[in-house]
Structure 1
Amino acid sequence: MQSSPPAGAPTGVPATAAQTSPENPWPLRVLSEKLKIHIENSPYTWVEGQLLEANVRNGHAYLTLRDVDVDNSFSVTVWSSVMRKLETTPTVGSRVVARVKPSLYTKTGRLSLNATDLRPVGLGELLVRLERLRQALGAEGLFDPSRKRRLPVLPGRIGLITGRDSDAEKDVVRNATLRWPAVQFSVINTAVQGVDAVPQVIAALQKLDTDPQIDVIVIARGGGALEDLLPFSNEDLVRAVAAASTPVVSAIGHEADRPILDDVADLRASTPTDAAKRIVPDLNEEFAGLDAARQRLERSIDSMLQREAQLVSSLRARPVLASPQVMVESRAEDLQRWVQRSTALIGHRVQRAQDEVAHLRAQVRALSPQQTLDRGYSVTQTADGSVLRDASTANPQDLLRIRVAAGQLTATVQDIFPAAEAAH
């Protein structure tokens, strides 16, 4: 169903934008009126922003409301009827939430917002929002200690992101140089508050992260109000730091300040000065440590040498080392005793053996034929040399040889007496 043309529109004007043409266009007022109807049909919306301008004239307030994260702004009108209901007058720089509805001023084509309610955002509400974001990011594991990287012991070059000519930059550079004079910096100055802070800091972080010479990145800012430190709790910046491959140090504000950047950074420094102390070692302390280590080493060596010297002295004090000849002499005496004992035993054994030989010799001599002959016996042998044992085996006139104790003689058999006759 086609809509009827606005009141006062000339006849023959196309009812819809799609029906317009170069030959049959809309008058500009028709477009303005149609846009006004469309825009003002929009529902009321609660929005949040920061007041850049706040002019109050004749009871009405004419404001400029800017987004807190990007450079987008809108004009906001608060009529006097609404202003009388507000508890506080809008001031430049304050953060507010407003219930608005868009409105188009057809004469100039100016789009603005009409506010029916305006409320300042308190610190308590900001803290609640930050804590809600902190818990959500923590649940994703962005703050897990296992994700945090160890800082190099001695970085070759440090990337520093901070405000131009800021005290934070001076504190970091001066204190780091005092601790380690050879330290080098790559400094990128950015906005550290306001709508430009987040995109500029993210761009600087990504640039330093891709530089192979940068060993650690420091994001530093001096103290300030909670609203000033809000960019360092921005979700986009927090995720950019979590995605960086270079270790990041957060040095934002004072000890009590704790933006969400502190939780995702690889190291949280309480102040920019503290960051300088924690990213580079103190040259004087290192020299002192080397001296102390050298002294401990010398003491250990001296102690070991003294122990070894005492051990050598105790070994040398032992009799065997004090008079080595004593050991030889004692062994020589032992050897002499063993020699004497062996000689005595061998002599005794030889004497016994000689006695045994003499005894055996006497026994042999007692059994020898010569010994029998010496007692007066003789041995009779036949002509063939055999011993004559039986007289009956001899024949008369046989030649016999008779052996006596001393010498031999021959005899001829005359008579033969058998054994039985001989016994008588």
Structure 2
Amino acid sequence: MTLPDAGAPLPEASASLPATASETTRERPWPVRHLSPKIGDYISKMSPVWVEGQLLNVRRWKHLVFVTLRDTEQNMSLRATVQGSQFDALGPDVTDGSRVVLYARPTWYQRDGSLTMDTKEIATVGIGDLLARIEALKEALAEEGLFAPERKVPLPFVPRLVGLICANQGDAEHDVVENAQRRWPAVQFVIRRVTVQGARCVPETTAAIRELDANPEVDVIVVARGGGSFEDLLPFSDETLVRVAAACETPLVSAIGHEKDSPLLDLVADYRASTPTDAGKRIVPDAAQELAGIEWARESMARSVLAYVERGTRELHSLRSRPVLARPAALLAPFADAVATLHERSGRALVGVLAAADARVRETVATLRALSPQATLERGFAVVQDASGAVLRDPADVAEGAPLRLRLARGELAARAVKKGR
């Protein structure tokens, strides 16, 4: 028995295959060689389309140029082929990272199951178009409040750890680190080196921002790049990158270019540094200046304390030299004389009051003595009382022989009543 060649297609009765995709089952599937042409037939019915994106992985093979057309906002890409003559007509500046528009028809390659855009026309995206798009995005983000001043977080006075995002090679890292450590030697850096232009800039930079923002030890994040052309700085106006920066909870410093450069990242950052050198100076205080300020404050406080003590000493000498403190008794002398005079007057007044009271008492005693029954008794009179103690005024009020009591000036006598004629 002879086996068929391994590379030769197996005999197949096309009539036994399902007619449509919905009729396929696990037991009756379509072979790849049957499905791939159908996909090609479907895609071939599509019309050519204008599509815009960023060039990536540009490589030439004979008369063709193979490129990847990437959408930086959604991180999607398509492969495309361009005639070498058409690509060369764009000029030598068109390379990885350039933005272009293609007029192309989707083509399905059955052998490897890949989709490629077969380019008919190609053109670079003009700076005017890019500016218009950035301006439209700027207005949309501003309406959302991403650039509002109240969203911005103040930078820490003395950051312990600074997260730096910069190029793999370049002066930005040196400018930031050198200037920061020159001003504040104790500052520490954690550095994430990324691609700062081209198609890889946005995903690498956004990933670095998220990583540093998730680190609780990082106090401030600096995104630095040493300037560049308008096209080189386009990734820093990418909507995805801008939104990631806006969501960053750690204070963010944008140090992308020079004074004339203004990518959208500058607007959403908590602080915009004009250059990486400026960022290095802004994220930390100047140790020498702070020490000078502390020294000035110490001297100022010392002068203030000495001045206060001297002023208090002068006031104390002034108080001690006043008569009231130098000779305290002199202040009391007039009052002592007044007290003596008042004491003398009060003594005389008291004597007068007592004399008058004594005279009134003597007068009252004399009056009482004159009116007292005892005085009458002293003159020889007696008070006659019956047995009940009642005073008798009429002989008729007592019976014959009734006991009587006679009260004299110096005692009493017992007696009996004897009736006598008138």
Which range, TM-score by smaller chain? 0.5 to 0.7
Change (3 A) 1:33 1:353: closer
1:241 corresponds in structure 2 to 245
8 Å Cα contact 1:54-1:90 kept in structure 2 = no
Change (3 A) 1:31 1:331: closer
2:130 corresponds in structure 1 to 126
Change (3 A) 1:343 1:224: same
Deviations 1:9-58 (A, max 9, x none): xx976696859999999997x9887655433321221212345659799x
Give the gaps of 5 or more residues in structure 1: 1-10, 369-380, 388-424
Is 1:385–2:380 an aligned residue pair?
Answer: yes
Letter in 2 for 1:99: Y
8 Å Cα contact 2:105-2:117 kept in structure 1 = yes
**Range moving further from structure 2, 273-282 or 113-122:** 113-122
Is 1:215–2:215 an aligned residue pair?
Answer: no
Which protein is bigger by CA-based radius of gyration?
1
Change (3 A) 1:277 1:42: same
Is 1:327–2:331 an aligned residue pair?
Answer: yes
**Range moving further from structure 2, 14-23 or 236-245:** 14-23
Query: Secondary structure of the residue that 2:250 maps to in structure 1?
Result: coil
1:255 corresponds in structure 2 to 259
8 Å Cα contact 1:96-1:119 kept in structure 2 = yes
**Range moving further from structure 2, 341-350 or 153-162:** 341-350
Deviations 1:74-107 (A, max 9, x none): 3333598x89xx8x65752343222222346789
8 Å Cα contact 2:54-2:199 kept in structure 1 = no
1:279 corresponds in structure 2 to 283
Q: How does 1:84-95 map to 2 (within 5 A)?
A: 91-93=93-95, 94-95=98-99
8 Å Cα contact 2:254-2:273 kept in structure 1 = yes
Deviation at 1:108, TM superposition (A): 9.7
Query: Secondary structure of the residue that 2:299 maps to in structure 1?
Result: helix
2:269 corresponds in structure 1 to 265
2:208 corresponds in structure 1 to 204
Deviations 1:289-319 (A, max 9, x none): 2122223322332343344334333333332
2:315 corresponds in structure 1 to 311
Q: How does 1:222-237 map to 2 (within 5 A)?
A: 222-237=226-241
Identity of aligned residues (%): 42
Change (3 A) 1:25 1:267: closer
2:67 corresponds in structure 1 to 64
Deviations 1:382-418 (A, max 9, x none): 9x9349xxxxxxxxxxxxxxxxxxxxxxxxxxxxxxx
C-alpha separation in 1, matches of 2:265 and 2:259: 14
8 Å Cα contact 1:71-1:196 kept in structure 2 = no
Change (3 A) 1:107 1:154: closer
Deviation at 1:235, TM superposition (A): 1.9
Give the TM-score of the pair, scaled to structure 2.
Answer: 0.68
C-alpha separation in 2, matches of 1:303 and 1:76: 86
Aligned residue-pair number? 356
8 Å Cα contact 1:250-1:262 kept in structure 2 = yes
Q: How does 1:164-203 map to 2 (within 5 A)?
A: 164-203=168-207
Q: How does 1:3-42 map to 2 (within 5 A)?
A: 37-42=41-46
2:396 corresponds in structure 1 to none
Query: Secondary structure of the residue that 1:67 maps to in structure 2?
Result: strand
Give the gaps of 5 or more residues in structure 2: 1-11, 371-376, 383-422
1:74 corresponds in structure 2 to 79
8 Å Cα contact 2:82-2:120 kept in structure 1 = no
8 Å Cα contact 1:157-1:184 kept in structure 2 = yes
C-alpha separation in 1, matches of 2:353 and 2:115: 143
C-alpha separation in 2, matches of 1:299 and 1:41: 91
C-alpha separation in 2, matches of 1:228 and 1:293: 48
8 Å Cα contact 1:78-1:114 kept in structure 2 = no
Query: Secondary structure of the residue that 2:101 maps to in structure 1?
Result: strand
Letter in 1 for 2:380: G
Deviation at 1:109, TM superposition (A): 8.5
Cα RMSD (Å): 4.6
**Range moving further from structure 2, 322-331 or 299-308:** 299-308
Deviation at 1:174, TM superposition (A): 0.8
C-alpha separation in 2, matches of 1:212 and 1:13: 64
Query: Secondary structure of the residue that 1:118 maps to in structure 2?
Result: strand
Deviation at 1:170, TM superposition (A): 0.7
1:399 corresponds in structure 2 to none
C-alpha separation in 2, matches of 1:100 and 1:32: 21
